[in-house]
Amino acid sequence: MSYFAFLAEHGPTLLLGTLTTIKVLICATILYVIISIIFGLMRLSKNPIIQGTATVYIEFFRGTSLLVQLFWFYYVLPFFGISLEAFTAGVVAIGMNFGAYGAEIVRGGILAVPKGQWEGAFALNFSPVKRMRKIIIPQIFPIILPPAANLTVELLKATALVALVTVVDLTFEAKQINSITWLSAQCFGTALLIYYIISRFLLVPFLRWLEVLAAKKVGKGKA
Amino acid sequence: MNAEWRWDFAIEILPKMLLATLNTIMAAGIGYAIAAIVGLLFLLGQRTRFKIVNIINREIVEFIRSTPLLIQLFFVYFVLPQFGITLSAWVCGMITIGLHFGTYLSEVYRGALEGVSRTQWEACRALNFTTFYTYRKIVLPQAFPIAIPGMGNYLVGIFKDTPLLSTIGVAELFHAATAVGGYHYRYLEPYTIVGLIFLILSVPAAMGIRKLERSVNKAQGKAKH
């Protein structure tokens, strides 16, 4: 069977799987951004209980494997009466895992804003809200976006794991087609290509665009 | 199904899990050794004078880095036999992990080499040192401390990605947990034990790397703020 015949027959299935992959990507990204911000801020709190909670969370999720967490969410939580759908379990596990990594980026980003900026805003008698909104946050984005972009590309790759808890995504479809046709080179090769295209031509350009936008906001762009 | 943690069951399966942990550690060690060497090869490809090699090298690295390790594993495991190369799951897993993380390590190496100030090179040129001598005595001793955190992080990273090997049937920790869980139809204890073992091994490792980083920086006279 030529490659084109293969694509004509199985292409639509793979594309359907791709849609699910993108859905997982978007949902997990939203979740991980929210978690990153919350735990990044908690990590900077002066209250030892809040800070300790965040530290334990971050160390826990960074210290264990994503696959283990995923299986734990999917196979172990039902023991406690919490049954998550495969898709939900996948999104939650990925979001919480990457949130732990993202929290460290957020923390580093806030700490990287020069002290003088805080002091300047304080000296000008800005209210805390105005200080954060107008001075600190716009300066955080150019610092955290490049590492966050790397993390998001990693997240795209991690979405492949949800296939192992029976989410019908691109990886799952590729495996399925492989077990029917045994055309391994074609189906896994196509899957690799699709991931590559999503990452290289959709996700990365979008993230770069965000970076440029953020840099312009604080006047560091190339105009 | 009851949610109670059964200690007798946990203790019964523990020896099996600890034995499988050795396999996991071995897989991470071998995978890391391969990745460290593959990383050097990619670094060489990046630094040669031939433009065409540079471009091909960069595209390969980019491709490997932006596709999931899981599918790469499947690809190597299922496609190579079609070309008459039949390798065991272990070998396939080690090759794939080596290639995948080799691309990351090459970036670490590159960053470390570029982190050495240009003037160091110029000074060596002025002193008429050979390239080999420059690398051995001047550049590498300064580049190494810069590379340590990155290299250490990827060691932990490889360790945490070894569970993926279970999908092609490498008998490591996660594989053992799934097998035990399936046999007794109890997943609570096996998967929790796996998580705990990972935690026990990787958190101290990460802390050790941070400590090493600090002490190397100190020895180099670059105290970190």
- Span B35-72, pLDDT tens digits: 999 999 999 999 888 999 999 999 999 999 999 999 99
Confirm if A91 and A159 have CB atoms less than 8 A apart: no
A220 to chain B, closest Cα gap in Å: 23
The mean per-residue pLDDT over the stretch B124-139 comes to 91
CB contact under 8 A, B74 and A163: no
In whole angstroms, how far apart are CA A183 and each of A188, A205, B63, B81? 9, 32, 21, 11
CB contact under 8 A, B68 and A174: no
In this complex, the residue of A79, A178, A200 whose CB is nearest that of residue B1 is: A79
At residue B146, the pLDDT reads 86
Return the ∠ at Cα A173 (arms to A168 and A174), rounded to 5°: 145
Structure tokens belonging to residue B20: 């499988």
Q: What is the value of pTM for the model shown? A: 0.89
Residues 170-189 of B with CB under 8 A from A: 174, 178, 181, 187-188
Q: How far apart are CA A157 and CA A155, in angstroms?
A: 5
- Check CB contact of A22 with chain B, cutoff 8 Å: no
The backbone region for B60, taken as left when phi is positive above 0, alpha when psi lies in -120 to 50, beta otherwise, is: alpha
Residues of chain A with pLDDT under 70: 1, 220-223
At residue A223, the pLDDT reads 45
At residue A80, the pLDDT reads 83
Q: Which residue has the higher pLDDT, A1 or B141?
A: B141
Residues of chain B contacting residue A169, judged by C-beta atoms under 8 Å apart = none
Other beta carbons within 10 Å of B199: 18
Please name the helix (run of DSSP H) or strand (run of DSSP E) that holds residue B81, with its range, or none. none
Domains of chain A and CATH, by start: 3-217 (1.10.3720.10)
- Span A62-89, pLDDT tens digits: 988 999 999 999 988 888 888 889 999 9
Instruction: Name the average pLDDT for chain B.
Output: 89
Residues of chain A contacting residue B202, judged by C-beta atoms under 8 Å apart = 63-64
At residue B225, the pLDDT reads 43
Domains of chain B and CATH, by start: 7-219 (1.10.3720.10)
At residue A219, the pLDDT reads 74
Q: At what angle do helices A137-158 and A204-217 cross, to 10 degrees?
A: 170
ipTM greater than 0.95: no
CB contact under 8 A, A153 and B66: yes
Share of chain B above pLDDT 70, in %: 96
At residue B224, the pLDDT reads 47
B127 to chain A, closest Cα gap in Å: 39
